Amino acid sequence: MQYLLAQRFTSYHGLCQRQAPAADQQSDMILQTEKNILVHLFITAKTPLPSRMIIYGSHGKIVIPDYWKASSATLYDNTGHATSLQVTQNSEFVFEIQHFNQLWSQHQLTIPVMTPTITCHTVAIIEDLYRQWTTSI
């Protein structure tokens, strides 16, 4: 999201349901960008919810079902009018692995999308949230 919005997260809060040392069962986070855009993440392994991404904006929303493998989305304007969007792309995880292998074979250690700066900032946020969750259990 930081890459798509071209903004860093400047504030964040969250809750996590887990039983140490097991992995998270659920987490719920709110992140705020430097231009006050809110990003809400709810991740669960407990409840069988559909995998989807919803992006809300001032003129409507975009719903992307099964966004890890998405080839379609629906754009809803503020009146509720829906427009179907179709995209032909390779979005399975296997293509990410192939992309990594291609970069590796070309001796590229970084990519323009997920720069070291964005990566380090994201990891620092995750570490801080886990630190908070660990001390609150």
pLDDT the model gives residue 3: 81
Task: Please tell me whether residues 44 and 58 are part of one structural domain.
Answer: no
Task: Please tell me whether residues 128 and 102 are part of one structural domain.
Answer: yes
Task: Please tell me whether residues 43 and 103 are part of one structural domain.
Answer: yes
Task: Please tell me whether residues 10 and 73 are part of one structural domain.
Answer: no
Task: Please tell me whether residues 81 and 99 are part of one structural domain.
Answer: no
Q: How many helices and strands, by DSSP H and E, does the chain display?
A: 3, 7
The answer to pTM > 0.85 is: no
- CATH code (residue 37): 3.30.360.10
| Residue 77 bridge partners (DSSP) | 60
**Number of structural domains in the chain:** 2
Distance between CA atoms of residues 17 and 15, nearest Å: 7
Task: Please tell me whether residues 79 and 113 are part of one structural domain.
Answer: no
End-to-end C-alpha distance for the chain, whole angstroms: 29
Task: Please tell me whether residues 35 and 67 are part of one structural domain.
Answer: no
Task: Please tell me whether residues 44 and 6 are part of one structural domain.
Answer: yes
DSSP 1: -
| Sign for the pseudo-dihedral over CA of 128, 3, 30, 21 | negative
Question: Per residue in 30-79, pLDDT tens?
Answer: 999 999 999 999 888 887 888 888 888 889 999 998 877 778 899 999 99
Task: Please tell me whether residues 110 and 58 are part of one structural domain.
Answer: no
Task: Please tell me whether residues 9 and 72 are part of one structural domain.
Answer: no
pLDDT the model gives residue 62: 92
Print the domain residue range for 74: 54-90
- Quickly state the pLDDT bin for 12 (edges 50, 70, 90): very high
- Mean pLDDT over 90-116 rounds to 82
Nearest CA among 39, 45, 20 for reference residue 130: 20
Distance between CA atoms of residues 84 and 74, nearest Å: 5
pLDDT the model gives residue 99: 83
Task: Please tell me whether residues 96 and 45 are part of one structural domain.
Answer: yes
